[in-house]
Amino acid sequence: MITTRPLDTEPSTAPAPSWAPRALVAWVAEQVELLEPDAVHWIDGSDAEAARLTDELVEAGSLIALNPELRPGSHLARTDPGDVARVEDRTFICTTDPAGAGPTNNWREAGAMTRELRPWFAGSMRGRTLFVVPFSMGPVGGPLSQLGVQLTDSAYAVLNLRIMARVGSEPLAAFGGADGEVPFVRGVHSVGFPLRDERGETRDDVAWPCNETKYITQFPETREIWSFGSGYGGNALLAKKCFALRIASTMGRDEGWLAEHMLLIRVTDPAGRAFHIAAAFPSACGKTNLAMMQPTLPGWRVETLGDDITWMRPGADGRLWAMNPETGFFGVAPGTGETSNPTAVRTLHANTIFTNVALTDDGDVWWEGLTDEAPDHLIDWRGDDWTRASSTPAAHPNSRFTAPIEQCPSLSPDWDAHAGVPLDAIVFGGRRATNVPLVTQARSWRHGVFVGATVASEQTAAAEGVVGELRRDPFAMLPFCGYDMGDYFAHWLRVGAGLGDAAPEVFQVNWFRKGADGSFLWPGFGENSRVIAWIAGRLAGTAEAVETPLGSAPAPGALDLTGLEITEEALAESFAVPTQAWLAECTLTDAFFARFGGTLPPELHAELADLRARLASAP
């Protein structure tokens, strides 16, 4: 289980640095009065501080130290069985007007939600230490970077945040000193279970540090986040989805940039030409695998810049510049293995926090998909004995790893470039067994926005819902857009109009299409490099294409299949465009677009009409 307790008296009661902004110090003092922690500790980001926090959590039984010979510097955490994923039904966008949230978000009026939250947060940190965590998303002082502060009573959250963002004294210095007025995002997180009651007596009625009542609330208008009751990373690491997508997407709309649920890679062809590609995939649909792909085509190289979030801003040269604002990987463990993603496995060799995976008898970790065969015996994610005869998974389907990005063998040397990298292409993908071809290129930026707006994927274990159910997930941002998605589509159109001919090309891929027998038509994994190579060829003007109702597809012979065992029938079926099935999907798109009412850009209605016309005239 994950718990927190105060640090030793001396470090816990250390005052704020003298050069911390007065406005920040005053805000922290205001929250201390509300939260009533036993102590306050300002995180400096040092290795010694992290070691002290880790040692205390191990001593308390909150972290399990793994075998230092097998997994040095790494630990295992377990969470409440009811606190293992994002809680979308308890995630709220809070604005003064419901139009600010749109029809796809859970809306609450900002003032009413503030009044509702206050009693829950009042005294929620009794018996605990309040950690003040200043952080920078992106290189400190970079043109695409943003500052934030998280207050939390979870040392587990602090240690994870330390891996995922630039924390401590260096970002705090970027606030500009005591008189600094640099804007920053404010976040408050509590696991929602004080260790002392109102009378000051120690509580012993809690086995897990979370509350049955949960709130994951974003206030885009005031750039605030209030998260209560959950210790799960996606709800407790406020710098991640809450800030880097929900709040940042709103900031991007207001300031003319984009905050997206996208991986970022550099692809280099045998001639040494480099291309930067961002790609949007719903959670657990292959983002990390593509971000760390090992190409099977000789002479090709893929370097990792980021696996989950990309911020993009038009540059002085008229191009779209992109960066990964994070410093680590918070990835889904099951399915990550030597076959699917050997680069990720090597990344996790040390200094990693594993959550809700299984523990081996020799002090290492295991999850489904890590190896072809499971060990004979394990301690499962709940802490119970597990054998191959067990009827339940050894690791939770949404179990996680948090690992430093600098341990990634495929990491690009420009991953933390101060100004980011110039973007050449944007790719949309999802998990579709039918309809969507292996790869197509959008006809224009406007058509590309339509492609992104109509992405659908099968439900995964990373979010609540029925696994396998098809759900719309435009731009892979449905759970993460901080404002009306109709306005979001319009913002994408505006950004593209400003870029003009310098806008990145847009593509769609689908690694998951199946044949009539239910088997995958395309081998996937490293073989996806053949599709990426065709995309790079299109960017370089060297790859041929043919027109289809859905966009440009590889011309016969344009996709390098050398050494690949795939039948002509399977290849043809992976590119087939079933007219009637697509016309039926257009009807579903009509219904989906209707949800946005008048905020849906008319350009998307026009693209849907154009698609219908192309389908009607197709052979």
CA atoms within 13 A on the CB side of 393: 17
- What does the longest C-alpha to C-alpha distance in the chain come to? 77
Q: Is 94 a catalytic residue?
A: no
Q: Is 398 annotated as a binding residue?
A: yes
Note the Cα 349 to chain centre separation in Å: 22
Q: Is 410 annotated as a binding residue?
A: no
- What span, in angstroms and rounded, lies between the C-alpha atoms of 390 and 388? 5
Tell whether residue 287 is among the known ligand binding residues.
Answer: yes
Q: Is 351 annotated as a binding residue?
A: no
Residue 283 marked ligand-binding: yes
Instruction: Find out whether 186 is annotated in a ligand binding site.
Output: no
Amino acid at 424: D
Q: Residue 106, annotated ligand binder?
A: no
> Are 220 and 93 spatial neighbours (Cβ–Cβ below 8 Å)?
yes
The reply, when asked if residue 234 is annotated as ligand binding, is yes
Do 261 and 477 contact (CB within 8 A), yes or no? yes
354 is in an annotated binding site: no
Interatomic CA distance for residues 358 and 383, integer angstroms: 8
**Residue 241 is assigned to a ligand binding site:** yes
Annotation-wise, does 528 bind a ligand? Answer: yes
Ligand-binding site membership of 233 (annotated): yes
Q: Residue for token digits 């911390």? A: 20
Is residue 612 annotated as involved in ligand binding? no
Is 285 annotated in a binding site? The answer is yes
| Surface-to-core class of residue 479, CB atoms within 10 Å of its CB (0-12 exposed, 13-18 middle, 19+ buried) | buried
**Six-digit token pair at 62?**
């909150």
Is position 483 annotated in a ligand binding site?
Answer: no
Q: Is 86 known as a binding-site position?
A: yes
User: How are beta strands 146-152 and 185-190 bridged, if at all?
Assistant: parallel
Q: Is 160 annotated as a binding residue?
A: no
Phi, psi for 401 (deg, rounded to 5): -130, 145
Residue 525 counted as an annotated binding residue? yes
Q: Does residue 308 have a known ligand-binding role? A: yes
285, 408, 481, 586: the catalytic one is 285
Give the sign of the dihedral formed by CA 12, CA 159, CA 36, CA 19.
positive
- With contact defined as beta carbons under 8 Å apart, do 266 and 275 qualify? yes
CA pair distance 412, 584, nearest whole angstrom = 43
Residue 594: CB atoms within 10 Å = 10
CA–CA separation, 248 and 349 (whole Å) = 32
C-alpha angle 533-537-543 in degrees, rounded to nearest 5:
115
Report whether 475 belongs to an annotated binding site: no
The pairing of strands 545-548 and 551-554 is antiparallel
Beta strand 185-190 with 224-228: parallel, antiparallel or unpaired? Answer: parallel
Helix (H, G, I), strand (E, B) or coil at 354: strand
Annotated binding residues for Mn(2+), as ranges? 241, 261, 308
Annotated binding residues for substrate, as ranges? 86, 232-234, 283, 398-400
Annotated binding residues for GTP, as ranges? 284-289, 400, 431, 525-528
**Which sequence positions are flagged as catalytic?**
285
Annotated binding residues, as ranges? 86, 232-234, 241, 261, 283-289, 308, 398-400, 431, 525-528
